[in-house]
């Protein structure tokens, strides 16, 4: 997991010290995790996910999916074509729109 944390930090253009400040942990803690000396705690992961809302927790913890949540949505939209859109109005009428 420490490699994915490194990748996230690099992707955000942060230094490990500014990353530590951003998520509210001790700089030494980040240093120990990035070196592989210590494993990140649940509290550390929680702080990361809360500090960076677009971070995909599944990717961070188990390496599944994409780094950013928004990348997951974009990929799903690429795989699926919109066939129709239905708009429902307050008066119980509706309109079908075709892309």
Beta-bridge partner residues of 68: 55
**Predicted local confidence at residue 99, as pLDDT:** 61
pLDDT tens profile 21-65: 999 999 999 999 999 999 999 999 999 999 999 999 999 999 988
Q: Can you tell me the distance from the alpha carbon of 95 to that of 99, in angstroms, rounded to the nearest whole number?
A: 13
Q: How far is CA 41 from the centre of its chain?
A: 18
Torsion of CA 61, 66, 72, 76, to 10 degrees: -120
Note the pLDDT of residue 20.
Answer: 97
Domain spans in the chain, listed from the N-terminal domain onward: 2-68
Is the domain spanning 2-68 CATH 1.10.274.10? The answer is no
What mean pLDDT value characterizes the chain? 89
Quickly state the pLDDT bin for 79 (edges 50, 70, 90).
low
């Amino acid at each position: 997991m420490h490699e994915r944390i490194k990748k996230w930090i690099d992707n955000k253009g942060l230094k490990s010290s500014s990353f530590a400040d951003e998520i509210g942990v001790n700089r030494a803690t980040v240093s120990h995790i990035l070196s592989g000396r210590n494993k990140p705690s649940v509290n550390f992961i929680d702080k990361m996910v809360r500090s960076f809302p677009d971070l995909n927790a599944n990717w961070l913890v188990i390496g599944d999916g994409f780094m950013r949540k928004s990348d997951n949505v974009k990929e799903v939209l690429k795989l699926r074509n919109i066939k129709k859109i239905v708009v429902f109005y307050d008066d119980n009428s509706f309109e079908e729109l075709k892309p």
